[in-house]
Structures are given as C-alpha cells and as structure tokens.
Structure 1
C-alpha cells in the first residue's frame, strides 16, 4: 500500500476513486434492502460497478448501521432507502457498563464480510472495505444529540462507550484485513460536529488505536469525515491514517494546503447536488475545474464527497469519467 500511495503521488495521471455501490444495485435489479442484507447481492452490485465503469478499485456500501445493529440497536430498513438507526440503546454509565461487545457473527456483519470476501476473490482489483468510526457509532448508540452534551456532563460513560466501540471496530477491520482487503474506509461524519480539540479527545484518540492496530504496508486506512468544514482537519491528520477523505462542505484547496504530501487527500464533489441533481455538462465542468485548480497537488485522489446516493444518472458518472480522462490526456501532452 505504501507503493500504491507513492504511485499516486509520483504519477503524472490523476487518479479517482468514487465511493459508489448504488448504481450497481440498481443495474442488477435489486433493492437496497436486499443488498444490505445479502452478501451475494451486495457483491454483485460491487462487481457491476467495477465492470461497467472500469474502476481502479472497489468500494462497498457505506452503511453506518451495521455495527450499531450488531450491538443491539434497532435499525429500520426501507426497501429503497439507506437503513437508519432508531431509538436509543444506552443512556448512562450503568447501561454502557452492561453493554456487551458483539461478536463478528452478530446481525448483518457476516453478510458484509461475505461481500468483501467475494470482492477480494473475484474482482482482481484493490478492495476497500468500509466501517463506521468510533464517535459516529457511539452517537448512534447513545443518541447523537445526547452524546454532544454527554461529552461534557457524562464523560465517563461516553469514554467507556467509545472504548467498546473502538474494540469492536478493530476486530471488524482485522477481519477485513484477514480476507485480503486492500484497506478500509472509516466513516466518521459525526466527528465533524466537534471542535478540533473535542475531535482530538473523542474521535482522533480512538481512530488512532484502529490505525495502529491494522494499518501497515499491506493495508491502508482512509478516514472519511464529510462533516468537517475545515475546523478539524488537524485532528484528522493526527489519527495517522494514510488517506483522508473529505466531503463537499470543505474547501478542497485549503485541505490540500493543510495536509502533507505523504497523505492522500480524497474528495470532494457533491454526491447529491452535483452527481444526482445536476446535468452531465455541469458534472463534467465541475470535475474538470477541480482537477485544474488542484493540479499542483500530486496527492489528490478526486472522489465523490461521500457515498453516492440512490438514483444517480449513469450519464453523470460517465461525465465524471470523461472529465478525468480528458484532463489526464491533456496533462500527458504538457
């Protein structure tokens, strides 16, 4: 993976990695509910995306309910929408102390491991697994609004919960690594609600434990925080993750200025406002413009700012690919 990073930084052509599975779900005639509950269907969606768009790497569904459900949280799974956690599983120190660490056989975890295993075995491409970050997971178990207050008035309970969440995520990431995955995208959007100091204390400290447990020459950690508007980029860097993935709320040039060349910086085209709702011409222009404006930064991997939502037009994905191809062709003749 160090060589992969070096190849991107030193190569003349700009690389891309869209986080998308929904176009594959739709193309294979399945519903989101089927894909998030059946590892075989999930894999078929991954494969369809790879085959259709000739992607350089595979990504899995960014489902931020899998780990919470494993802990025992109630999850609503509509047929055609992303699952979401409902209710509150823990509310104080006593309930957190009683919370058991789930096994990797819990809930839908085995189906997600199956999708990753099949992708590793059959795609022949780098496979980036996905999981939720510790603070975002804790927020789904404790309630997101409550944990923002709890970090100040119920600190012991929140820190114990974060510790349990981190231990489970480490086990989950080790399982991805054992399957042969190239790396993992840790989605920690809730940390973007925090100041840099609070992010260091309640997210970075725990994400760093995950990084130290699994990241090495063969396995890269990509930290995704689409909630960061620029105030906690320093905290993201201090996790030690090899790559940082930003959402469309941030100024990409500013993020690149703040990150060293040795760290891959990924993002940040709007998955909804651009990819889903705009015209192909606008997708092309905004993609090409971002590439041109960041041409001096060799560590940028252009990407969607988050997971592609359902219903993105195929023409818009193709416009993105064309803009990247045209840009690289132009750069190769400079």
Structure 2
C-alpha cells in the first residue's frame, strides 16, 4: 500500500497492511533538515522540505501544513513575530479593543489570496501536490471557531466574553467560523484531502458554553469541509472528556486524543467509524522514554482502541526527541 492508500483505507474502515502513522511535527521537523522554527512557520518551502524529509526518513503516511495558530489571525491584521526556537508570537490580539457588537459589524473576513500567511499555507499544499502527487495524504489546517476567537480577542477576554457577553461571543464566533470555512475550502481546492481543525481552547471551556456557543459553529465548519469532499481531523489539546456528550455528534473522521484522555472511554463514546489517534505523552513518553517503552505503550493503545486507530502522540513531537524514539513510534504495526 502507498501511504495515501493506507490512510484512506483506515478512514473507510477497510483493511490496512499496517496502522497509519500521522504524527504532528513542527520545530522538530525544521531542525531535522538543519533549519529553525521561525523559517518553518514563515516560508512554506521550508515547511514542505521538512515534512517531506521526515515522511521519508521516518516512514510517515501524511505530510502536514500545520505550523502555528496565527495564519488566520494575521489575515485580520495581526503582527506576527517569529522566533528561531519557539512558536511564532502574535504581538497584539487584533480585536482586543473591539468589545461591542457594532465593532464586529465593521469587520471584513480576510480572503486567502490577500493574506500573505494564509496564502503561504495554500502554497504549501500546492507544492506537496506537485512533488508528491497522490503518494501521501496532505493535511491542511484551520483554527476552530473558539481558537480563532481567542487568538483575535486574547484568551482571557474571550473566556470572559463567553460568560459576560454571549451575544457578542456568538457574533464573533460566526465571523471566525466563516473565516475558517473559506480558508479550509481554499486548501481543499489546492489539494488537501484532510483538514485539521485546531480548537485547543475548548478544553478550558465549560460544557454549557461549549454546547450553547461553540458546538454549532464547529458543526458548520465540519459539515462544510465534508461537503467539499475532504476528511476532518479534530485536534483539541488537553482533557476533553467533559465535552464528549455533544462533541461526539460531529461528523469528524479522526479525533486526536491527548495523553491524559482515557482511550478506552473514547472508543466506547465515539461512533465506531471515527478513527482515534494518539495518545502517547509527547514529553514523558516520546522525548524522555526509550524505544522499547514507546513500542510497549503504543501497543497498549492499540489494545484499548482496536482497528480504527492511527499512530500519534497526544500532540506535537517536541524538539530534542531522540531520533531513535521517532523511529520506534513509526515502526510498522500490523493490525491484529
């Protein structure tokens, strides 16, 4: 099987030769080719070179366009500061002072072709498609409604708005959803077969706020991606079990499980068709563990989940991870 065939078979519930390997790499990938995080996040050519090198050197099944949370935020005018050895920084949340509904009515949703950083991600997908064809799955990426709202407003203000200003929050979340939809559709048009949705802040939101304000917007985003013919990978860092009663109703294909999530409970909660990915501790298991420990914990994950599974850590593979540990993570495992 080619990596793409293996990946698609898993999504379709069909037999695969080995479990697909879909780890998230950013700074690690940049350093693997002798570059740095700042170059990786600011230049799609570095991102593409790093991902392809890692996919071939470690035998991954997917290349990714994820780099940082601020692609869409920059489209709203945010200044992004790059760091060689750290995540890009949003200098000032662009909507920090827009705290009235009337302020939001003046906003214009950024168009991908007019935003340097949004266009750079689309250019990465086009480069992947040109260099790899149909050999690998190509993962596009958007910020989820809550994550983008938090990036635009500032996390503290956004979390307070959910409680104190629900009407304002609803309007902001609608703007964020519309932005993510058009950005996702541009990436699908460029050749992405899957769109990852990063909505990390949701792990810090109460079930009530999630059910009343977030879920319907996530659903609209997920449904738009699925209607365009792409698969959806939902990534929410942290503990998410308090959201599952509603979250499980989303029409997603893959759910990333962070390392503190109960995998057995996840398998019992989500529909059988949903592929679970994870959930080794990126630091404790992947960076600080041994190859034998990684393989043992990975096999334990498979015992808990069964066949609908993709190999991954709970989140990004961190910088400083020994090469032999990444090799161990991606060692082929035949479904039993």
State the Cα distance separating 1:237 from its structure 2 match: 1.9
How far apart, in 2, do the equivalents of 1:217 and 1:33 lie? 32
Q: What is residue 119 of structure 1 aligned with on the other side?
A: 128
Residues 112 and 22 (structure 1), Cα distance of their counterparts in 2 relative to 1, 3 Å cut: same
Does 1:271 pair with 2:292?
no
Residues 7 and 316 (structure 1), Cα distance of their counterparts in 2 relative to 1, 3 Å cut: same
Contact persistence 1:62–1:307 (CA under 8 A) = no
Provide Cα deviations, 1:153-174, integer angstroms capped at 9, x if missing partner.
1112211111111111111100
Contact persistence 1:204–1:238 (CA under 8 A) = no
How far apart, in 2, do the equivalents of 1:172 and 1:243 lie? 20
Q: What is residue 316 of structure 1 aligned with on the other side?
A: 325
Q: What is residue 235 of structure 2 aligned with on the other side?
A: 224
More moved, 164-173 vs 64-73 = 64-73
Residues 165 and 205 (structure 1), Cα distance of their counterparts in 2 relative to 1, 3 Å cut: same
Contact persistence 2:188–2:228 (CA under 8 A) = no
Provide Cα deviations, 1:211-260, integer angstroms capped at 9, x if missing partner.
22121484101111123331112332222222211211211111111011
Contact persistence 1:192–1:229 (CA under 8 A) = yes
For structure 2, list consecutive stretches of 5 or more residues without a partner in the other structure: none
Identify which of 135, 140, 147 aligns with 1:129. Answer: 140
Contact persistence 2:26–2:37 (CA under 8 A) = no
Residues 312 and 131 (structure 1), Cα distance of their counterparts in 2 relative to 1, 3 Å cut: farther
Contact persistence 1:261–1:298 (CA under 8 A) = no
Q: How does 1:197-276 map to 2 (within 5 A)?
A: 197-216=208-227, 218-276=229-287
More moved, 304-313 vs 126-135 = 304-313
How far apart, in 1, do the equivalents of 2:230 and 2:115 lie? 24
- Classify the secondary structure of the residue corresponding to 1:266: strand
Contact persistence 1:46–1:119 (CA under 8 A) = no
Q: TM-score, normalised by structure 2?
A: 0.89
Runs of 4+ in 1 over 6 A off after TM superposition: none
Q: What is residue 143 of structure 1 aligned with on the other side?
A: 154
State the Cα distance separating 1:24 from its structure 2 match: 2.9
For structure 1, list consecutive stretches of 5 or more residues without a partner in the other structure: none
How far apart, in 1, do the equivalents of 2:18 and 2:110 lie? 43
CA RMSD of aligned residues (A): 2.2
State the Cα distance separating 1:292 from its structure 2 match: 2.9
Contact persistence 2:192–2:230 (CA under 8 A) = yes
Does 1:328 pair with 2:330?
no
Residues 173 and 227 (structure 1), Cα distance of their counterparts in 2 relative to 1, 3 Å cut: same
- Classify the secondary structure of the residue corresponding to 1:241: coil
Provide Cα deviations, 1:292-330, integer angstroms capped at 9, x if missing partner.
333xx32222311112232322111011123xx3x428x
Identify which of 33, 37, 49 aligns with 2:42. Answer: 37
How far apart, in 1, do the equivalents of 2:183 and 2:286 lie? 31
Q: What is residue 107 of structure 1 aligned with on the other side?
A: 116
How far apart, in 2, do the equivalents of 1:265 and 1:249 lie? 14
How far apart, in 1, do the equivalents of 2:262 and 2:328 lie? 22
State the Cα distance separating 1:20 from its structure 2 match: 1.8
How many pairs are equivalent?
325
- Classify the secondary structure of the residue corresponding to 2:301: helix
Identify which of 92, 96, 102 aligns with 2:104. Answer: 96
- Classify the secondary structure of the residue corresponding to 2:149: helix
Residues 242 and 5 (structure 1), Cα distance of their counterparts in 2 relative to 1, 3 Å cut: same
- Classify the secondary structure of the residue corresponding to 1:232: helix
Identify which of 76, 86, 94 aligns with 1:71. Answer: 76
